[in-house]
Structure 1
Amino acid sequence: MKFIVFKRPALRNAMLWAILLFVVLAYRENVIAVFSSKLKPIYSAEVTTSEIGLTFDISWGEKTPEPILDILQEKGVKATFFLSSPWAAKHEDLVKRMVADGHEIASHGNRHIDLNTLSPGEIEREIMSAHEVLQQITGQKISLLRPPNGAYDNKLISVSQRLGYQVIQWSVDSLDWKRPGPEAVIHNVLNGLPNGHGAGPGDIILFHASDSAPDTIKALPVVIDQLRAKNYQLVPVSQLLKSATKTWPPESNLPPLEQTGSS
Structure 2
Amino acid sequence: MQKRKATIIGGKGFIGRHLAVKLRTTGWDCRLPGREEIFKGQEDMGNVFYCAGLTADYILRPYDTVEAHVSLLSRILRADRYESLVYLSSTRLYDSQPGIVGTEEIPLSLNPTIPRHLYDLSKALGESLCSATGNGRARVARLSCVYNDHTDDEGFLPGLLRRIIEDRPSFLEIDSSPAFARDYIHLQDVLDALIMIADRGQGFIYNVASGENIRNETLFAALATASGCKIIPLLHENPPPPARISIQKIQDEFGWSPVSVLNKITSIIEENLQC
TM normalised by structure 2 equals 0.30
Query: Where is the strand percentage greater, Structure 1 or Structure 2?
Result: 2
| Larger-gyration structure (1/2) | 1
Q: Would you tell me which structure has more helix in proportion to its own residues?
A: 1
